[in-house]
């Protein structure tokens, strides 16, 4: 049982280091392509479509061309080219502010006695694809009015909630995109480094000294770099790369076909077909491991370390509740009774 945990801990340590490298590389690619901005553009095309709801739907042009929005992307025309430079973040307050100003601008003052009526007329002036959800929000604003409230403020609040719910969905889209890029980048790096998970597992299972060394490295990493997966900075990535290269070198020096060297060349020359399929499976497993992210493997390392030992230690000064009375501190002597309000010696 302990050997199995040690092998799992060693694999988790390698996957953690590999995921840090992969995540840093894929985040650079996503940042360079402005993937976050394009996701926000896609979210707005769902909230305020100009026409239709298909893949090529664009956000409402008047909203994108609003002065408060145009100052963020600096495009004069609200076409598809804006997505390349679209901001990666938009707060719900700014969304509702731009939306309210747009509706008041589109609204007409004819037969409108209040600003709320102007906003309602502005909603009706929108294209069919965009005005449906806003009309529903306006009806909800009137239904949910409390004494002393104005429908304008309630509508603006509901519009902010509507935007936040779409941002939750957008976060899910971006996570799936990140996982896809992590898998692609992880697969490429696994082939480049010949990170064969099958060979690594066999090495950790059969070589006691190697397994012990990797267990010690994993424990030291958890102890000294508890926030590495969260920070993911350039310096942390360089440190992880150095440790990762050292780990691959240790596996190669132990005689296992990891990395591209004379040992791997001999293995490919002796058994080309079996080595290819085993390596392909190992590379795919490495890519799948990278898609899970560094934080996943770091948390798994901590859990395995706790399973190997006595569990995590309680924090200093932390007391554990005892009994139904919720008593804390040391266990009382026999005959000591707690009645909920005061204590007495029985």
pLDDT digits (tens, 9 = 90+) for 36-82: 988 998 888 888 888 766 666 778 888 888 888 888 876 655 566 77
Residue 206 is predicted with a pLDDT of 87
Token pair for 258: 């990891």
Predicted TM-score (pTM) of the model is 0.74
Residue 74 is predicted with a pLDDT of 67
Residue 335 is predicted with a pLDDT of 44
Return the closest-CA partner of residue 118 out of 101, 132, 96, 131.
101
Residue 332 is predicted with a pLDDT of 45
Mean pLDDT by runs of 10 across the 346 residues of the chain is 85 89 90 89 88 72 85 66 82 91 80 79 86 90 82 90 93 93 94 89 87 85 62 57 77 74 84 90 93 89 81 48 45 45 44
Using a CB cutoff of 8 Å and minimum separation of 24, what contacts does 281-284 make? 281/197, 281/198, 282/190, 282/195, 282/196, 282/197, 282/198, 282/199, 282/200, 283/187, 283/190, 283/191, 283/195, 283/196, 283/197, 284/187
Return d(Cα 254, Cα 207) in angstroms, integer: 8
- The half-sphere exposure of 56 on its side-chain side, counting CA atoms within 13 A, is 0
């Amino acid at each position: 049982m302990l050997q199995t945990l040690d092998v799992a801990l060693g694999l988790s340590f390698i996957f953690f280091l590999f995921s840090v490298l992969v995540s840093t590389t894929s985040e650079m690619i996503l940042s360079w392509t402005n993937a976050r901005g394009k996701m926000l553009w896609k979210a707005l095309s769902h909230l305020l479509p100009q026409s239709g709801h298909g893949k090529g739907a664009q956000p409402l042009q008047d909203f994108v061309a609003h002065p408060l929005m145009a100052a963020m992307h600096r495009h004069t025309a609200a076409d598809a080219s804006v997505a390349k430079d679209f901001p990666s973040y938009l707060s719900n307050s700014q969304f509702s502010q731009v939306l309210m100003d747009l509706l008041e601008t589109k609204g007409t003052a004819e037969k409108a006695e209040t600003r709320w009526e102007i906003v309602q007329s502005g909603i009706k002036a929108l294209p069919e694809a965009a005005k449906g959800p806003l009309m529903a929000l306006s009806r909800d604003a009137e239904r949910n009015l409390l004494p002393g409230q104005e429908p304008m403020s309630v509508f603006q609040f509901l519009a902010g909630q509507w935007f936040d719910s779409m941002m939750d969905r957008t976060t899910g889209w971006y996570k799936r995109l990140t996982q896809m890029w992590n898998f692609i980048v992880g697969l490429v790096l696994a082939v480049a480094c010949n990170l064969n998970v099958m060979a690594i597992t066999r090495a950790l299972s059969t070589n006691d000294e190697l397994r012990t060394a990797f267990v010690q490295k994993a424990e030291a990493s958890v102890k000294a770099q508890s926030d590495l997966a969260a920070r993911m900075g350039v310096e942390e990535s360089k440190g992880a790369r150095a440790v990762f290269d050292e780990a691959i070198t240790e596996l190669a020096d132990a005689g296992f076909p990891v990395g591209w060297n004379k040992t791997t060349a001999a293995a490919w020359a002796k058994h080309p077909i079996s080595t290819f399929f085993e390596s392909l499976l190992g590379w795919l497993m490495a890519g799948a491991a990278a898609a899970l992210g560094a934080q996943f493997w770091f948390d798994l390392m901590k859990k395995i370390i706790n399973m190997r030992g006595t569990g995590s230690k309680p924090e200093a000064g932390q007391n554990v509740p005892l009994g139904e009375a919720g008593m804390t501190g040391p266990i009382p002597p026999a005959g000591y009774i707690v009645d909920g309000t005061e204590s007495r010696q029985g």
